[in-house]
Amino acid sequence: MIIAERPSRLRAFTKAFFRSPTATIALCVFVAMSLAAIFAPLIAPQNPYDLRSVSILDNLLPPGEASFGGMTYWLGTDGQGRDMLSAMLYGLRISLIVGLASGVIALAFGTLVGLVAAFRGGWVDSVLMRIVDLQLSLPTILVALILLVILGRGIDKIIVALVVVQWAYFARTVRGVALVENARDYVDAARGLRLPPLRILFFHILPNCLPTLLVVATIQMAQAISLEATLSFLGLGLPPTRPSLGLLIANGFDYLQSGRWWISVLPGLVLLVLVVSINVVGDRLREVLNPHLRG
């Protein structure tokens, strides 16, 4: 019965999630975009980072235009002659890597802080939560900008900046859930059995925090991708040699007034669809995992 309970709960969760057509479409879109990003080297017509495959003579070609060499650029080219379809596939890949990596690291660190604060209580809880309050009171983009000015540009640098501005959200959320779980009977029973504190923390309290963490992680991933795009658009994110969607939008900004809209608009649409799909999935997860929100 116990073994059969988990598959039945998983089936119930899956059935409840896919009951929403909007969430189903959003999940399919996100999965399709993720697969396109993963297999970008196989799908993309050219490698936008390989200067040998890029010709400056093909710059600023509109969508559907053929180059001098006979290659058709279905989404046009940018000012450097790079195929926009290829550039967006590789840019989508970088945006997803940055969003996922920063989210996972921030989740791990924030979860640890929240669990320790709730489990230990007292002055440990007070000190950690004051640090969290200080972090949450500061403007997110301002903190990220200051960090990138100090650290410089690069994928690792922007991941560090995003982790710093995200971990407090996870810590605050986990602490709230862990406080409720810490007062339940099963935790008192585990203490009565003299189980090690770390075992109680990670094998009893943490699993009950995972549903809430899943929702927060999904939403924070979308916010991390949006923030990275903003920072790259401002010129403080990723280097020009590794353009994300935000940097692709910035590269085409100067061409908008001349009618070459595709250089900025198309990456902007990809970024919009990506963030919206993640947010829709996150909202649906919140509705399914929280029975009080079900209509």
Give pLDDT tens digits for 68-85.
Answer: 777 788 898 888 888 899
CB 250 within 8 A of CB 244: no
What pLDDT does residue 283 have?
A: 92
Token code pair at residue 71: 């290659």
Residues linked to residue 208 through DSSP beta bridges, in sequence order: none
Residues linked to residue 44 through DSSP beta bridges, in sequence order: none
Token code pair at residue 42: 């196989």
pLDDT category, 5, cuts 50, 70, 90? low
CB 114 within 8 A of CB 175: yes
Among the listed ranges 202-211, 255-264, 285-294, which one has the minimum average pLDDT value? 285-294
Q: Is the pLDDT of residue 25 over 90?
A: yes
pLDDT category, 291, cuts 50, 70, 90? low
**Locus of tokens 């799909």:** 277
Cα pseudo-dihedral 13, 19, 23, 29, rounded to 10: 100
* Model pTM score: 0.89
| Percentage, residues of the chain above pLDDT 90 | 51
User: Which region, left, alpha or beta, applies to residue 64 given φ > 0 means left and ψ of -120 to 50 means alpha?
Assistant: left
Among the listed ranges 96-105, 106-115, 168-177, 236-245, which one has the minimum average pLDDT value? 236-245
Q: Is the pLDDT of residue 269 over 70?
A: yes
What pLDDT does residue 4 have?
A: 46
d(CA 177, CA 214): 13
What pLDDT does residue 165 have?
A: 94
Nearest to 219 by CA among 152, 173, 253: 173
Average pLDDT, stretch 135-145? Answer: 92
d(CA 284, CA 16): 9
Q: Which run of H or E residues covers position 228?
A: helix 206-233
Q: Is the pLDDT of residue 52 over 80?
A: no
Among the listed ranges 35-44, 81-90, 99-108, 187-196, which one has the minimum average pLDDT value? 187-196
d(CA 170, CA 106): 7
Output the CA torsion sign for 279, 226, 32, 106. negative
What pLDDT does residue 27 have?
A: 96
Q: Is the pLDDT of residue 177 over 70?
A: yes
Domains of the chain from N-terminus onward: 30-293 (1.10.3720.10)
Q: Is the pLDDT of residue 3 over 60?
A: no
CB 233 within 8 A of CB 250: yes
CB 193 within 8 A of CB 250: no
Among the listed ranges 66-70, 105-109, 132-136, which one has the minimum average pLDDT value? 66-70
Average pLDDT, stretch 6-27? Answer: 87
Token code pair at residue 77: 């080219």
pLDDT category, 7, cuts 50, 70, 90? low
**Average pLDDT, rounded, for the chain:** 87
Q: Is the pLDDT of residue 8 over 80?
A: no
Q: Is the pLDDT of residue 214 over 60?
A: yes
Supply the DSSP string of 14-80, one letter for each residue: HHHHTT-HHHHHHHHHHHHHHHHHHTHHHHSSS-TT-GGG--GGGTTPPTTEE-TTS-EETT-B-TT
What pLDDT does residue 223 have?
A: 94
pLDDT category, 6, cuts 50, 70, 90? low
Q: Which run of H or E residues covers position 161?
A: helix 155-182
